[in-house]
Amino acid sequence: MSKKDDNRKNPASEATNTAWGGRFSEQTDAFVEAFTASVQFDQRMYKQDIAGSRAHARMLKKAGVLSKSDCEAILKGLDSVEQEIENGEFDWSVAREDVHMNIEARLTDLIGDAGKRLHTGRSRNDQVATDIRLYLREQIDFIIAQLLEMQKGLLALAQREADTIMPGFTHLQVAQPVTFGHHMLAWFEMLQRDATRMHDCRERMNISPLGAAALAGTSYPVDREFTADELGFSAPAANSLDAVSDRDFAIEFCAASAVLMTHLSRMSEELVMWSSAQFDFIELPDRYCTGSSIMPQKKNPDVPELVRGKTGRVNGNLVSMLTLMKSQPLAYNKDNQEDKEPLFDTIDTVSGSLRAFADMVPAIECKRENMYAAAKQGFSTATDLADYLVRKGLPFRDAHEVVGKAVAFGIESKLDLSEMPLDQLQQFSDMITEDVFDVLTLEGSVAARNHIGGTAPDQVRKAAKAAHKRLLG
């Protein structure tokens, strides 16, 4: 801050804030001016702010509040302001506090008194509540499209790797064999729910605050349906106090985003593990990894690690939003200006992470032999042997006991169940016959789980096809 800015003791006549300076006898402290400003971050809503102003001006003209020529001048002026912003020629000023006043002030510079009439029957409170909704709506649509992109990639991968056998884990211990395609379909389902959460949030959010003005509505004959319609909202907000004050829709978006990031984080964890030398299940594309400046052999999975890490900031943003909202009495309070940074950061983090994943995941290379070899360890077909005995008439608990003994023997003799000779297996139960090997192989094990939601390659192909149809109609 310059010395000049620091020591301003200006008479009222020098007050720069023409939007509300009238009742003030002393100019805002320079620090306070910067401290209370939001233009540094809310300027990204300029398009929505201008769209809202266009709708409001048209409505005022229709209601007979604004003359035709004023309305035309405003619309033309707004076009010029938008052009200036897009050309990078707009002079954003902290003294003009926020995106709304910057745009309005420039409009007035350009067209004179008509510009000053635009704010009739409107407040920055309904204006900002409108802008955020319009902005977030667009961003949600983008995020849903990104989700769709990644989901399509997962379906293609599921089809490609429907026959690829890997160990399935519980407690990160080898449990039962599954197919890699099946695993990708699990990821798909998580994202499918994330997409529906985004859709739900969009729908609840899509109502128009315009006309609520500062808090109580306005004495002008506003047509709230008209502005709602112009801006693609489903209806005007039913209560003016609520319309300008609540940010639950932004909280909801952050909550949906936190769940989405939690999903991406879990996927990241698996990608990191699978690409380690210990698992060695997959190869991540080189363009998504980095090296080490000291260890020449390293190929680090930075992108999944970063996405896992970024989940923390999105969770933090959700907590910020909840905390800033709690304890706020109706209606608008300046606290609400603090909604933007966590909201924008969430949007940027989610869409950056999705962009990376949508590109990286379909390019995963499966090391099929390694996955297969890993599935052969850890007696992953033990349940299949128990099920086999149950089918032969043994109660499940007894079958469990028999197989437990066979596994103990396998650990000692370093033999998988499928590698034991038949007479060896028969020592554990005389119900076992030659056909046992059909179920003890990994292929037999996965093929047996052939029902809706099961891991059998045929089911995976079917499920991927059905999901594709569900997704794209």
| Residues contributing to the site for ligand ARG (CB under 6 A) | 38, 42, 98, 124-125, 128, 332, 334, 336-337
Nearest CA-CA partner of 160 in 466, 467, 365: 365
Please report how close the Cβ of residue 213 comes to ligand ARG at its closest, in angstroms.
11
Please report how close the Cβ of residue 81 comes to ligand ARG at its closest, in angstroms.
18
**Other CB atoms within 10 Å distance of the CB of residue 202:** 21
- Give ∠ CA 89-92-96 in degrees, rounded to 5: 145
Please report how close the Cβ of residue 33 comes to ligand ARG at its closest, in angstroms.
13
Please report how close the Cβ of residue 216 comes to ligand ARG at its closest, in angstroms.
13
Please report how close the Cβ of residue 103 comes to ligand ARG at its closest, in angstroms.
12
Q: Give me the residue label for tokens 């309305």.
A: 71
β-strand pairing of 282-283 with 235-236: unpaired
Nearer to ligand ARG (CB atom), residue 104 or residue 252: 104
Nearer to ligand ARG (CB atom), residue 159 or residue 328: 328
Which tokens in the block code for residue 201?
């949030």
What CA–CA distance (Å, rounded) separates 425 from 438? 14
Nearer to ligand ARG (CB atom), residue 82 or residue 98: 98
Nearer to ligand ARG (CB atom), residue 147 or residue 250: 250
Please report how close the Cβ of residue 92 comes to ligand ARG at its closest, in angstroms.
13
Amino acid found at 247 = R
Max CA separation in the chain (angstroms): 104
First CA to last CA distance, the chain: 58
Alpha helices, H only, 246-333: 248-274, 302-325
Backbone angles phi, psi at 184, to 5 degrees: -65, -35
178: which strand partners?
Answer: 166
Answer for the pair 295, 302: CB distance below 8 angstroms, yes or no.
no
What CA–CA distance (Å, rounded) separates 448 from 69? 76
Please report how close the Cβ of residue 124 comes to ligand ARG at its closest, in angstroms.
4
β-strand pairing of 207-208 with 235-236: parallel
β-strand pairing of 165-170 with 173-179: antiparallel
Nearer to ligand ARG (CB atom), residue 47 or residue 197: 47
Non-local (6+) Cβ contacts of 320 within 8 A are: 338, 342
Non-local (6+) Cβ contacts of 403 within 8 A are: 382, 383, 385, 386, 389, 428
Active site residue 292: yes
Please report how close the Cβ of residue 227 comes to ligand ARG at its closest, in angstroms.
18
> Of residues 13, 25, 171, 293, which has the active-site annotation?
171
Which tokens in the block code for residue 186?
């699990």
Cα dihedral sign, 397-402-405-411: negative
Nearer to ligand ARG (CB atom), residue 125 or residue 139: 125
Nearer to ligand ARG (CB atom), residue 337 or residue 353: 337
C-alpha distances out from residue 13 to 26, 106, 264, Å:
9, 20, 56
Nearer to ligand ARG (CB atom), residue 128 or residue 425: 128
> Of residues 67, 69, 292, 413, which has the active-site annotation?
292
**Angle, helices 124-160/457-472, rounded to nearest 10 degrees:** 150
Looking at the annotation, which residues are catalytic?
171, 292
